[in-house]
Chains A and B, each alone.
Chain A
Amino acid sequence: MLKSWKVRFGLGVLVFFVLLAIIGPLLPLDPRANDFSAISQPPSAKHLFGTTQFGQDVLAQTVAGARGSMLVGILAALIGTLIAVLVGVPAGYFGRAVDNGLNFLTNLFLVMPVLPLILIVAGYVQGTGPWVIALIIGLFGWSGGARTLRAQALSLSSRDFVLAMRMVGEPHRRLIFFEVLPHLTGWISAMFLHGMIGGVMAEAGLAFLGITDSGSISWGTMIQAAQQQSAVLRGFWWWFVPPGLCIALIGTAATMVNFGVDEVSNPKLRMARRSVVVRTRKVVEA
Chain B
Amino acid sequence: MVRWAFLARRLGFYLAAAAAAIVLNFLLPRLMPGDPSSAIVEELERVSGQQVPAETLMSIRAIFGNPHANLLQQFGDYVRQLAHGDLGVSVVNFPVPVADLVSQAMPWTLLLVGATTVTAFAIGTLLGVVAGWKAGSRFDAILTPFTTFLSSVPYFWVALLALWVFGFVLGWTPLSGGYDADLPQGFTFAYVLSVLHHGILPAATIVFSAFGGWLLGMRNMTVTTVREDYVLLAQAKGLSPGRVMLRYAARNAMLPSFTGFAMALGHVVGGALLTEIVFSYPGIGYLMYEALQKRDYPMMQGVFLLITLTVLLANLIADLMYVLLDPRIRARG
Contacts and interface: CB of A to CB of B under 8 A. Distances in A.
Contacts of B132: 272
B67 interface: no
Given A113-B269, A119-B288, A210-B293, A272 B278 contact: no
A283 to B, nearest CB: 14
Nearest to A275: B136
B308 A240 contact: no
Interface in A94-116: 104, 107-108, 110-116
Contacts of A235: 164, 168-169
A232 interface: yes
Given A252-B149, A272-B223, A112 B21 contact: yes
A262 B304 CA distance: 36
Given A115-B270, A269-B223, A124 B32 contact: yes
Contact of B308 (A116, A250, A255, A262): A116
Contact of A248 (B149, B160, B269, B291): B149
B252 interface: no
A239 B223 CA distance: 41
A114 B270 contact: yes
Chain B facing A: main interface SS: helix
Interface string B245-279: 00000000000000000110111011101100110
Contacts of A117: 24, 304, 308
B311 A120 contact: no
A116 B288 contact: yes
Given A256-B148, A269-B224, A240 B157 contact: yes
Chain A CB within 10 Å, residue with most, of B16, B163, B223: B223
Chain A facing B: main interface SS: helix
B169 to A, nearest CB: 7
Contacts, number: 173
Contact of A205 (B21, B154, B291, B315): B154
A204 B277 CA distance: 14
B266 A211 contact: no
B130 interface: no
Contacts of B161: 240-241, 244
B269 A111 contact: no
A278 interface: yes
- Residues of A in contact with B, size category: 35 or more
Given A113-B270, A116-B270, A276 B136 contact: yes
Contacts of A144: 263
Nearest to A6: B145
A123 B169 CA distance: 35
Interface in B282-333: 288-289, 291-293, 295, 297, 300-301, 303-304, 307-308, 311-312, 315
A255 B152 contact: yes
B9 to A, nearest CB: 11
A211 B288 CA distance: 12
B47 to A, nearest CB: 19
A114 B266 contact: yes
A159 interface: no
B163 A232 contact: yes
Given A108-B20, A269-B224, A274 B136 contact: yes
Contact of A274 (B141, B168, B288): B141
Contacts of A120: 28, 300-301, 304
A133 interface: no
A98 to B, nearest CB: 18
A252 B269 contact: no
Contact of A126 (B36, B274, B295): B295
Nearest to B18: A111
Contacts of B196: none
A4 to B, nearest CB: 13
14 contacts: A108-B16, A113-B308, A117-B308, A124-B36, A205-B274, A227-B278, A232-B163, A237-B164, A240-B161, A248-B149, A252-B152, A259-B148, A271-B223, A274-B138
Interface of B: 13-14, 16-17, 20-21, 24, 28-29, 32-33, 36, 132, 135-138, 140-141, 145, 148-149, 151-154, 156-157, 160-161, 163-164, 167-169, 175, 220, 223-224, 227, 262-263, 265-267, 269-271, 273-274, 277-278, 288-289, 291-293, 295, 297, 300-301, 303-304, 307-308, 311-312, 315
* Top 9 A-B pairs, shortest CB-CB distance: A251-B152, A115-B270, A277-B136, A272-B135, A244-B157, A274-B141, A113-B266, A124-B32, A248-B153
Given A116-B303, A235-B164, 20 more contacts: A111-B14, A111-B312, A113-B265, A116-B307, A117-B24, A123-B295, A124-B28, A209-B277, A223-B154, A227-B160, A233-B168, A240-B160, A248-B153, A248-B154, A259-B148, A266-B224, A271-B136, A273-B136, A274-B138, A277-B135
